[in-house]
Structure 1
Amino acid sequence: MNKVEIRGSVIDEETRCTHYHSELDIIAIKFYCCKTYFPCYSCHEESGCGDHKVWPAEMFDEKVVLCGKCKDELTVNQYKSGHGCPSCRADFNPKCRLHWELYFEK
């Protein structure tokens, strides 16, 4: 398994960051604009990318969500189909859905 680089204010091996660090905050998202994984949109903003773009719906079969528990990469479709990892069954924070439009096209 390849180790995926996660940028931002990461505070542990399960992708939690200084902005979001509950027990359920264990995903990182690869941003469409820079093709780089960050734990959250705040970490991405702090990186200075400056070209924020969301994943278009026609690319929802791309692997762009990383489970912090098992390190499996999920497609957007896999991620949106439930509240957890289909590989290791770890629960994800359901409140992440409140930020959907910051990462993915509606």
Structure 2
Amino acid sequence: MDGEQPGKARDSGERRRTEENETRLRRTTHAPAVDDRFSVPLRGVAVDPETRCAHWDDDVDVVALRFGCCGHFSPCRVCHAETVDHDPEPWPRTRFDEAAVLCGVCGATLPARTYLDSSDACPECGAAFNPGCRRHRDRYFEE
């Protein structure tokens, strides 16, 4: 093995297999199709089984949000823009009591009001949501 330590070769091989498995678990879905792994109509770019996408991929990026324009869920606005043929519209205030958020960890669908009033965690399973999303909620929910 040309001077390589056996443990290191095994570690890099394991790392490569893990990355390959993660890549296989990610899907890009364009309209009119939806990602059949989820209980809601969801589209996105390189979406993993917990709704992380190519654009937002930290441990806490585990929500998908419903758009008012089409009623479909996407992990982020960029995913929406890249997978449909129309401009995004935020979820309407008059529908804040309807399911508009998907927790990618437990699969719960949450009303917009519940999500907006949450302490950046899923009320069903306790999974942490990205607190930075508060800065751009107006892009997803009508004010």
TM-score w.r.t. the length of structure 2 is 0.69
User: Secondary structure of 1:64's match?
Assistant: strand
> Deviation of residue 99 (structure 1)?
1.6
Which 4+ residue blocks in structure 1 deviate beyond 6 angstroms? none
1:48 shift after superposition: 3.1
CA contact (8 A) 2:63 2:102 kept: yes
Higher relative contact order (CA 8 A, sep 6+): 1
Q: Structure 1: how far apart are the matches of 2:58 and 2:109?
A: 21
Q: How far is 1:33 from its partner?
A: 0.5
1:11-30 to structure 2, matched below 5 A, reads 11-30=47-66
Compared with structure 1, are the counterparts of its residues 34 and 84 closer, same or farther at alpha carbon in structure 2 (3 Å cutoff)? Answer: same
Deviation, 1:75, is: 0.5
* TM-score of the superposed pair, with normalisation by structure 1: 0.91
Q: Do the aligned residues in 1 keep the contact of 2:66 with 2:91 (CA within 8 Å)?
A: no
- Larger Cα-atom Rg: 2
CA offset at residue 51 of structure 1? 3.7
Q: Which has the higher helix share?
A: 2
- Name the residue aligned to 1:60: 96
SS in 2 for 1:44: helix
Match of 1:71 among 104, 107, 115: 107
Structure 2 unaligned runs (5+)? 1-37
Q: Count residues with an aligned counterpart.
A: 105
Structure 2 counterpart of 1:47, one-letter code: T
Report the secondary structure of 1:88's partner residue: coil
Gaps of 5+ in 1: none
Structure 2 SS opposite 1:10: strand
